[in-house]
Structure 1
Amino acid sequence: MDPYNSGNPLGLGPRHRKPKRKYFAKLFILMALILLPLGGYIVYQYLTSTQQQADVKSVQSLQEVPTPNLDKARVEKWNGITKKVAYLTFEDGPTALTSDILKSLKEQEVKATFFLIGSNINEQPDVVRSMAKAGHYIGPHSETHDYDTLYKKKQYVPEMLRVQKQINQLTNHSPLLTRPPYGSTPGITKSIAKEIEQAKLRVWDWSIDSMDWYYKDSAKEVANTVISRAEGPVEIILLHEQPQTLQALPAIVAGLKKKGYQFSIYDEDFHVPYNFAKFSNL
């Protein structure tokens, strides 16, 4: 017997065939029969995966690719600091002072929201066009500004829709936001609120009254009133097109900026109900 083959686990060198070695051939055949289906399955999975990758690469149109539904959302905080927004809202225009107000806002790089009266629009259509071109929001403030007509005779919606049409003819936009003369309470009742909702209009009152109608001879008092009352993260400021308001405007803007406020116009895509009557549908 070859000494290199005797007791050698690695099987180095020549070895004699023995009858019992036939079992290895049978075992090999058995293993092959077991592994053949498994190998076929692995090959099948590989080919399928390759085809799927080729199918993905063959997509040519963006419409064939599913995209996530991304909804717009407000950014309320930035680096842990609560966002503070001030809305300057002017009533009763356009007037002889509107152009000067627009000039002052431009100098301070601030946009505002204007609520206009129908008869005044007819007198100064070019000013309304300039207002829209400058990027300010323009909304209806009625035709008559008369309490009994608007609320007791329930002409709020008809008047606002007519003013909306006037604005659209000059700006190509039909504004949804209205400012109720004298505020929403007690004039806007549940029945009027339902009419407003059906007309797809909205209502905004104010969180700060500048008192510019009271301090007729003091721009300083107007500015102090606005700045001292601005405390919340969102403030809607009532202003009128008056000389004292125009004079107070730079101080108001500077004071609110110092308190951390940014200025914005009303955004129809992010309407938040704010009315004294607390109608959630407005």
Structure 2
Amino acid sequence: MDSYNSGNPIGLGPRHRKPKRKYVAKLFIFLALLLLPIGGYVIYQYLSSNQQQTAVKSVQSLSEVPVANLDKARVEKWNGITKKVAYLTFEDGPTALTSDILQSLKEQNAKATFFLMGPNINQQANVVRTMSNDGHYIGLHSETHDYDTLYEKKQYVPEMLRVQKQIKQLTGHAPLLTRPPYGSSPSITKSIAKEIERANLRVWDWSIDSMDWYYKDSAKEVAKTVIDRAEDPVEIILLHEQPQTLRALPAIIAGLKKKGYQFSIYDEDFHIPYNFSKYPNL
């Protein structure tokens, strides 16, 4: 008899081990196999719900995302050097000299902006088409070129719109830029400026007068005037379709290139306000 258990009425000795019941383990495995697909389905629904909510939130948040400004950016400096741009602008054409001016520009690899008059367009339709095909900008310069008619009788906008229609018929493009005969100041009053804005037209004067109307017999003086006065990063140069201007053109282009200028045409998508009247809306 075991001395430890003898006389031990409350059974403080070693416990008697009951045999393991195998059906408990089998039941556990069965329940696990039963619950596994149910748990997987619950997890799948939870994840799917989160993805849908995230997608909805993403769509709703699109309106809150800042929209990038897609306007054309202008490079002002390159490798630390300020970009210098010259706009050659010719008035009063097309004339008998326009074809020669276009040829000279092509030889010098330069583009220009031409402000044309209505009656001259009718006489030089093929030249206007060539001008457009060569990549120059064609602007508006009225029909009459008459001060009283344009400004006193307020025919500035009506005349420009008629010229615009002529150019569109020949080139397929309705230009927006106008060049006021005699300049915008004091010609364009506030009331005329409002009419111009309502017609979605724009105004460009000039920063350099070539004085080709004054130096009629000296292409050298015309070229010297332009080159000497070109100092700012952006210069808008007033030229006329005159013999002295045509002769001066190669020297003007060469001189401005030497001073670091590139040549460009007016860009409707990046309008640079420049008018003597200082109207910011034009």
TM-score for the superposition, normalised by structure 2 = 0.77
CA distance in 2, matches of 1:67, 1:156: 41
Q: CA deviation at 1:81?
A: 1.0
> What are the within-5 Å matches in structure 2 for residues 258-277 of structure 1?
258-277=258-277
CA RMSD of aligned residues (A): 2.7
Q: Which amino acid aligns with 1:216?
A: K
SS in 1 for 2:237: strand
Q: Does 1:213 align with 2:219?
A: no
Match in the other structure for 1:177: 177
Q: Does 1:123 align with 2:123?
A: yes
For residues 214 and 149 of structure 1, the distance between their equivalents in structure 2, rounded to whole angstroms, comes to 25
Q: Residue 33 of structure 1 aligns with which residue?
A: none
Alpha-carbon distance, 1:84 to partner: 0.4
In 1, the alpha carbon distance for the partners of 2:69 and 2:153 equals 45
One-letter amino acid of the counterpart of residue 71, structure 1: L
CA distance in 1, matches of 2:120, 2:67: 47
Residue type at the aligned position of 1:128: V
CA distance in 2 between partners of 1:104 and 1:124 (Å)? 18
Question: Pairwise mapping of residues 162-173 of structure 1 onto structure 2 (< 5 A)?
Answer: 162-173=162-173
Structure 2 counterpart of 1:212, one-letter code: D
CA distance in 1, matches of 2:184, 2:82: 29
Amino acid paired to 2:124? Q
C-alpha distance in structure 1 between counterparts of 2:103 and 2:47, whole Å? 68
Offset of residue 233 of structure 1: 0.4
Within 2, Cα distance between the matches of 1:90 and 1:212?
11
The reply on whether 1:144 has 2:144 as its aligned counterpart is yes
User: Which residue of 2 is the match for residue 111 of structure 1?
Assistant: 111
SS across alignment from 2:269: helix
| Residue matched to 1:22 | none
The Cα of 1:94 is off from its aligned counterpart by 0.3
Q: Partner letter of residue 210 of structure 1?
A: S
Cα separation, 2, equivalents of 1:244 and 1:112: 17
* SS of structure 2 residue aligned to 1:269: coil
CA–CA separation in structure 2 for the residues paired with 1:181 and 1:90: 12
For residue 5 of structure 2, what is the aligned residue in structure 1? none
1:69 counterpart residue number: 68
How many angstroms apart in 2 are the aligned matches of 1:149 and 1:251?
37
Distance 2:209 2:167 in 1: 26
- Write out per-residue CA displacement over residues 204-263 of structure 1, whole angstroms, 9 at most, x where no aligned residue: 000000000000000000000000000000000000000000000000000000000000
Cα distance, 1:70 vs. partner?
5.1
Is 1:78 aligned to 2:91, yes or no? no
Cα deviation for residue 69 of structure 1 reads: 3.0
The 2-side partners of 1:272 and 1:92 are apart by 22
Number of aligned residue pairs: 234
SS in 2 for 1:126: helix
Counterpart CA distance in 1 for 2:135 and 2:224 is 27
Q: Distance in 2 between matches of 1:160 and 1:70?
A: 31
For residues 68 and 109 of structure 1, the distance between their equivalents in structure 2, rounded to whole angstroms, comes to 38
- CA deviations 1:120-142 (Å, max 9, x no partner) are 00011000000000000001100
SS where residue 270 of structure 1 aligns?
coil
- 2-side partners of 1:249 and 1:220: how far apart? 10
How far did 1:75 drift?
1.1
Q: List runs of 5+ in structure 1 lacking aligned partners.
A: 1-39, 57-65
Matched residue, 1:240: 240
Identity of aligned pairs, percent?
Answer: 81
Change (3 A) 1:212 1:71: same
How far apart are the structure 1 equivalents of 2:93 and 2:152? Answer: 24
TM-superposed deviation, 1:67: 11
Rounded to whole Å, the distance in 2 between the matches of 1:269 and 1:48 is: 48
Cα distance per residue 1:121-168 (max 9 Å; x no partner) = 001100000000000000110000000000000000000000000000
3-state SS in 2 of match to 1:87: strand
**Letter aligned with residue 107 of structure 1:** E
Question: Which moves more between the two structures, 197-206 or 67-76?
Answer: 67-76
What corresponds to 2:203 in structure 1?
A: 203
- Cα deviation for residue 68 of structure 1 reads 6.7
